[in-house]
Amino acid sequence: MSPVVELDHATLQIGGRAVLKDVSFAIQPGEFIGVLGPNGAGKTTLMRAILGLLPPAAGRVTVFGRSPQRGDASIGYLPQLRTVLPDLRVRGLDYIASSLHGERWGLPSIAAADRKAIEATLDDIGARDLAARALSDMSGGERQRLLLAQALMGEPKLLLLDEPLISLDARHQEVVIDVIKKVCRERKITVLFSAHELNQLLGAIDRVLYLGNGQAELGTVDEVVTAPVLSRLFGTEIEVLRAGGHIFVLSRGRDVERDAHNHDHDHGHHGHAH
């Protein structure tokens, strides 16, 4: 089986600076990959490269065995920055429909086939009731599910979810993870799921892709989440503690994941591990 995503000595560079340098790994069909790493490690940059938005400065990135193609319908994407708020009065169904065929804003009348497809996807993620509800009346978790449904439209074979848990409480995080896991297993979708905390993902992921210090390590949690590997990726001495089914990644006694938490709401103070 050929990999879904492969980096072969790839260097991803932004503004002349290498974010990832000479990185190689291969993600296999159907894998659920947790993408972790401190702020600025390159999680979003990697997803942009997979989408064909950032050609590698060196080496190769291949997706489904070829160079990434912009606008590839076989890739579903949930971007990290969701600052462009849609008109909140709009219904869930109309919101998804308006993004289906590359329309910009405006509410086209929804073709019957589109309506069926949208409703089927909402059903899959247990959110059929969102179709008729206005975005303004949805909780953060419900809105997140609506965006997930949007990413699933068009039957993607690869799903790139950039921090889908941000701004959700623990219970909603769990619900979102479970739903994604279930739908992607059923539809045999390969998933890259970026997050700042490993623990919630432990039950869902097949392997972890940990980024840091320009490098990447792909493997099982036991292979990757170790003091030697993470010390290299964080560029500082890291301790890994396991207790009660949880894993704590500590730098000088501080939890590096907790430090990075909620960074999206606090742009002036990034939790870099210096």
Using CB under 6 A as the binding rule, whether residue 42 contacts ligand ATP is answered as yes
Binding region for ligand ATP (CB under 6 A) out of 32-40, 67-75, 121-129, 165-173: 32-40
The contact pattern for ligand ATP, residues 178-197, with x = CB under 6 A and - = no contact, is: --------------------
The contact pattern for ligand ATP, residues 45-64, with x = CB under 6 A and - = no contact, is: x-------------------
Considering only residues 28, 80, 99, 226, which one is a binding residue for Mg ion as defined by CB under 5 A?
80
Number of H helices, E strands in the chain: 8, 12
Using CB under 6 A as the binding rule, whether residue 88 contacts ligand ATP is answered as no
Return the sign of the alpha-carbon dihedral for residues 151, 48, 74, 176: negative
Using CB under 6 A as the binding rule, whether residue 44 contacts ligand ATP is answered as yes
What Rg, from alpha-carbon coordinates, does the chain have? 19
Pairing assessment for the beta strands 254-255 and 190-194 based on DSSP bridges = unpaired
Alpha helices by DSSP H, the chain: 43-50, 92-100, 112-124, 140-152, 170-187, 221-224, 227-234, 256-260
Using CB under 6 A as the binding rule, whether residue 219 contacts ligand ATP is answered as no
Using CB under 6 A as the binding rule, whether residue 73 contacts ligand ATP is answered as no
Using CB under 6 A as the binding rule, whether residue 235 contacts ligand ATP is answered as no
Q: Which position has the token pair 């869930």?
A: 92
Residue 12 near residue 19 (C-beta atoms within 8 A): yes
Q: Which residues form the interface with Mg ion (CB under 5 A)?
A: 43-44, 80
Q: Which residues form the interface with ligand ATP (CB under 6 A)?
A: 14-15, 19, 37, 39-45, 80, 263
